[in-house]
Amino acid sequence: MKYIRLIFASLVITLLAYSCNPAGTVSEGTGAILSPTTTIIAPTISVRWSGRMVLCNNSTDSYTSYQWYLNNQAISGATGQYYTQESGLNGSYYVIVTAQGGISLTSDTLSVHTAP
């Protein structure tokens, strides 16, 4: 018995093919199992709240955890969907998210400079 998996966009097709018997005839038919898959999109971030917040878009509800970075250093305690700095954001920000299934994804870096 062999399984053949074909992936097309958001559809996975698993074909189940039975092997031939010694007489050379097929012992069973061929079946197909269709199952939807989850498409995971890389995170995108944007500046909000007059330059005091960066927000990670999670419109697909795919992300289970977040870690924000400022100038390539992890920001202690910044593990939510957004990060705020009351005095204004200054520097280069990005976020690393964990998606369903344990996959880590990194956003692009966003440079923010808020005038005092």
Give the model confidence (pLDDT) of 25-83 as tens digits. 444 544 444 445 656 678 898 888 678 899 999 988 889 999 999 999 999 999 999 99
| Cβ count near 19 (within 10 Å) | 9
pTM of the model as a whole: 0.65
100 vs 43: CA distance, rounded Å: 13
pLDDT at position 22 is 46
Question: How many residues are given for the chain?
Answer: 116
pLDDT at 27: 46
What ranges make up the beta strands (E) of 1-116?
2-8, 11-17, 31-36, 45-48, 53-56, 63-70, 73-74, 82-84, 90-99, 104-106, 110-113
CATH number, domain 45-113 = 2.60.40
Higher-pLDDT residue of 92 and 116 is 92
Strand partners for 5: 14
Q: What average pLDDT does range 107-116 have in this prediction?
A: 87
By the 10 Å C-beta count (0-12 exposed, 13-18 middle, 19+ buried), 51 is classed as middle
Q: In the structure encoding, which two tokens stand for residue 61, read together?
A: 């509800």
| pLDDT band with cut points at 50, 70 and 90 for residue 101 | confident
The letter for the amino acid at 113 is: H
Q: How confident is the model at residue 14 (pLDDT cuts 50, 70, 90)?
A: very low
Between 12 and 37, the more confident residue is: 37
| Residues sharing a CB contact under 8 Å with residue 21, sequence separation 6 or more, in sequence order | 27
pLDDT, residue 16, reads 39
Q: Where in the chain is the domain with CATH 2.60.40?
A: 45-113
